[in-house]
Structure 1
């Protein structure tokens, strides 16, 4: 199950202009290639995972979540600030340079 705390819903909407529906679309449209966030400022217990995927309207989002008791707790989701984020995800996930437009 994918869970959203109320404060995260507000942050997604107000800070990033992202809806819960868009986050769920990213899970459905993604490649199931999730990575642990190793940056020191984002260290959590349990670890924070992230991935990138397009919404149904081809809006690319980076989604961050933690796994708790078999569920996924959404931490945030936002549009990457630059193409370097997408390039990193493609490299880590071993995806072609044209992803997600063509596979």
Structure 2
């Protein structure tokens, strides 16, 4: 994953995502972007911890230990569609116990 792409397209939305997460009472929120085959990912937890690129992917695998692969297969087509329309695919997640 490309850190420069994170800096160019995702770093500027960190505060907005934190505000959205607080407003929606999400436990974490994540987004991805793509440019010319390069990908960047951002995940923010309720604690304020920010994970970028590979750390975000690994954290999401921990948060979804049994469902990561199937969830990503469901999300990727929607992500691609939103990105092709010039939108960031943003996903807030609430954890139910």
Higher helix share: 2
User: Higher relative contact order at CA 8 Å, sep ≥6: structure 1 or structure 2?
Assistant: 2
TM over 0.5: no
TM-score scaled by length of structure 1: 0.33
